[in-house]
């Protein structure tokens, strides 16, 4: 019996960040990530990957924040449009994580990256930070 096609981005994988800053996404997630993708900094010191359709909801929320006070706008300069990378999966199912985004999330070349589905987006964590939020020591 063939595997069912998932509707949501779920599951967790532990993949190496290669020397060029690329990381594989799990096969079951790839079919749910067509076309243009948005890789963004998140205040929790991880990265989030959205499809264009799903990111449009985030943009609406961010535009509300931009209409707020100076502090809100300053926060958006750190995690908003200047902190976004537009990308696509390569033919092998990888994305490139640029240096400024790797630095934000504490991701080092050739280290393990935790790739975890969060229903409508994917998060990328350093193994240590992910272990800390899970309450377990990193391996």
Q: Which domains does the chain have, with CATH numbers?
A: 12-134 (3.40.1550.20)
Phi, psi of 112 (to 5 degrees): -80, 135
Q: Kindly state the greatest CA–CA separation across the chain.
A: 56
| pTM, 2 dp | 0.83
pLDDT tens across the length of the chain (139 residues)? 556 666 899 999 999 999 999 999 999 999 999 999 999 998 899 999 999 888 887 777 777 766 777 766 666 666 666 667 889 999 999 999 999 999 999 999 999 999 999 999 999 999 999 999 888 665 5
Distance (Å, rounded) from C-alpha 112 to C-alpha 18?
A: 9
**CA-to-CA separations, 138 to 12, 21, 108, 125, 133, in angstroms, rounded:** 15, 21, 15, 12, 11
Q: What is the 3-state secondary structure (H, E, C) of the chain?
A: CCCCCCCCECCEEEEECCCCCEEECCHHHHCCCCCCEEEEEECCCEEEEEEHHHHHHHHHHHHHHHCCCHHHHHHHHHHCHHHEEEECCCCCCEEECCHHHHHHHCCCCCCEEEEEECECCEEEEEHHHHHHHHCCCCC
pLDDT number for residue 85: 82
pLDDT number for residue 80: 63
């Amino acid at each position: 019996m063939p595997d069912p096609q998932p509707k949501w981005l779920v599951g967790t994988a532990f993949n190496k960040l290669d020397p060029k800053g690329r990381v594989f996404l799990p096969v079951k997630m790839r079919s749910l990530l067509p076309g243009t993708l948005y890789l963004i900094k998140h205040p929790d010191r991880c990265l989030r990957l959205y499809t264009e359709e799903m990111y449009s909801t985030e943009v609406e929320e961010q535009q509300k924040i931009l209409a707020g006070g100076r502090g809100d706008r300053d926060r958006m300069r750190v995690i908003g449009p200047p902190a976004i990378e537009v990308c696509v999966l390569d033919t092998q199912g990888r994305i490139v994580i640029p240096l400024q985004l790797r630095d934000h999330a504490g991701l080092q070349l050739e280290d393990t990256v935790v790739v975890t589905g969060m229903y409508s987006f994917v998060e990328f964590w350093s193994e240590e930070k992910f272990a800390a939020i899970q309450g377990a020591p990193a391996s």
